[in-house]
Structure 1
Amino acid sequence: MEKALAVNTCLGILKGRDCIYLDEVKQDDANNLTFKGGINGHLISVHQDVQEWFTYTLTFRQVVAYFCCELETYTNYLGGKFQYVSSFDVIEESHLLKSLLLSDDLNKGIYRHYRLFTYDEVFNIIAASYEFKTDS
């Protein structure tokens, strides 16, 4: 069964609809997917309330697939039956990961399924790794 686990960033756990705002998404020719925007300083578990907003850059490396859906549409699509843990999760035992990857890649454990909730959208990303940077 799928299980969502919160990703612990340098700002701790990011949680809440108003936590992650997205200004820019960029895909490059090396299969990297980069998100830039702001993080609400009141909705993080480390350095909470130190500053109102943090700028961030989140880059996923070796992306093999990603899907974006408007937040309310995503909730309706899943019938409200998804496990919301935080605004940035890694999904263990991912059905999406298993359906997309060849068994050799899946068995090597190279790729992971990440889910990112921004204010307006939900991104499901299959990638080898990620890098999270902020102005903290």
Structure 2
Amino acid sequence: METLTAIQTELGILQGRDCVYLNTLIQDDFGQLTLSGDINGHLIYNNTNKKDWISYQLVFQQVLAYFSCELDTYEMIENNADYQSSFVMVNASRWIEKLPIRKDIDCSLYKHYRFYTYDFVYDILAVDFQMTIDY
């Protein structure tokens, strides 16, 4: 059964629809997906940084697949309205289990990440991610 685990960023746990704003999304030819924008400092659980808005860049490495959907529509898909954070790991992912992945790819390396922004939700299968915060 799928479960969600909030990802602890260096700022804390990102929470709420108004927490993450996306300005750009870039997919490159090397399997990287880069998202950048701003985080509402007032909607970070355990936030020690007192800034109102904090710029971020989130880079997913070795992306196998990603899916995006408008937030309100996404919440109606299979009861996806129950989330504890704007950035989570999907454990025991049904998507990884059902995706017809090539036989030469080691599926055990991939993780399922979910990133909720103000307008869209992104499900991403990637080996890893790196988040850079601009204080």
Give the match for residue 134 of structure 1: 133
Normalising by the residue count of structure 2, what TM-score does the alignment of the two structures yield?
A: 0.92
Aligned pair count reads 133
**1:42 touches 1:48 (CA, 8 Å); kept in 2?**
no
Unaligned runs of at least 5 residues, structure 2? none
Which residue does the alignment assign to 1:44? 44
The one-letter amino acid paired with 1:86 is S
Instruction: Indicate the structure with greater strand content.
Output: 2
**What letter matches 1:42 in structure 2?**
H
- C-alpha distance after superposition, 1:103-123 (max 9, x if no partner): 8723xx210000000000000
Q: 1:45: how far off? A: 2.2
CA RMSD of aligned residues (A): 1.6
Identical residues among aligned pairs (%): 44
- Structure 1: which amino acid aligns with 2:82? Q
Please state whether the residue corresponding to 2:9 is helix, strand or coil: coil
In structure 1, list runs of 5 or more residues that go unmatched: none
Note the 1:87-98 alignment, pairs <5 A: 87-98=86-97
Identify the range of structure 1 (38-47 vs 111-120) with the bigger mean alpha-carbon deviation.
Answer: 38-47
Q: Distance in 1 between matches of 2:60 and 2:123?
A: 11
**Cα offset, 1:102, TM superposition:** 5.6
Kept after mapping to 1: 8 A contact 2:111/2:127: yes
Q: In structure 1, how many angstroms separate the alpha carbons of the residues matched to 2:81 and 2:73?
A: 13
